[in-house]
Amino acid sequence: MSRERDQGKPSTRAVHGGERDGRPRVTDSLTTPVVQSATYWFRDTQEVIAYQEGRHPSFEYGRYGNPTTRALEDKLCALEGGEDCVVSASGMNSITTLLFALLENAGHLVTTSECYRRTRQFIATLLPRMGIRTTIVEPGDYAALERALADGCSLFFSESPTNPYLRVVDVGRVSELCRRAGALCVIDSTFATPINQQALALGADLVLHSATKYLAGHNDVMGGALVGKRALIRRVRDLHGVLGGVIDPHASYLILRGMKTLALRVAHVNQSASRIARHLEQHEKIERVHYPGLASHADHAVALRQMSGFGGVVSFEVRGTLESASKFIDALRIPYIAPSLGGVESLVEQPTIVSYWDKTPAERAELGIRDNLVRYSCGVEDADDLIRDIDQALSLI
């Protein structure tokens, strides 16, 4: 696996990592085969014993591993520089299994105020049943983080960039604070991808991805991944085998295929989103733009230090009301109105309506969700076309 990780720059590793060596060869096929099997057989009892003792590299049962999925896990190790990886059926399955596996009963989790709604829901509703308390700090408030870590914290978790305001956590600084406090540092790098940010190299213990997004890249498959230290991954993998959130081998194949163009797609959306963000910042009908590549962003300096690109998502506030933002979105011709991000098609959503419509205005305000907020995920369309489309939509409000 270490040799895999040394195969050149990220774009080269995205193509060859995990697949050139170690995966099963079937009639010399160039692509990794889809091994569609629920169970695996052994030639004799001695081979079973050799497998149990780690002397026979094979698989036993589909819930515990699959050759196609293992190739995907190796590719992610190659890209992130991790010792091991476990892939599951969704990003949410990865985060919930991680927290169940690594948080002790009556433990203490520290997380940031901005995160995916379902992650927030899991932390608020399920973890208290295990006696786990949670401290929430603002992204960028490192003094508050240090105080929270000193209060017996065992694990810190944050997205970086965050959803939906794209706050960027100083991973190196946070990792050092966690080490001093004896806490694990886990970074959800879904928005960044391994192309734009190397969280493990910056000091994180584990990095998480919703593989549904940029890794797969085509809005056609779901998956989640956790990469990092082998001992930690082993604990998560053991519980994953119990809980059973297993990814389908064909889904693993689709993510493998999608990742071969990851570097190309990320480079394209980095440029498109940067252009759109700069354009919107000058537009009279836009109140505020949230994009870490802009000097106006709260974490621009941090992003410059630790990211090689600023991602394909731009969040912005349309001047006016909820209805103004809705009218703008309805007038767009290129992006689909849909949740998610990171695919080849541009997607646009109004978080208030898509994710928080069941909340009152006061509850949304408490969570920091503004009714005029729009989240725009750039696809691989031409940036000039996207900007023209945005301008014509804005002209109608």
* Angstrom distance (rounded) from CA 118 to CA 212: 15
* Angstrom distance (rounded) from CA 242 to CA 253: 23
Quick one: which of 165, 388, 396 has its CA closest to 275? 388
Are β-strands 224-228 and 286-290 bridged in parallel, bridged antiparallel, or unpaired?
unpaired
Taking the chain, what is the end-to-end CA distance rounded to the nearest angstrom?
54
CA distances from 323 to 248, 314, 326, 327 (A): 41, 20, 5, 6
Half-sphere exposure of 384 (CA within 13 A, CB side): 0
Task: Answer for the pair 312, 262: CB distance below 8 angstroms, yes or no.
Answer: no
Catalytic residues: 63, 116, 188, 213
Tokens of 359: 């909340």
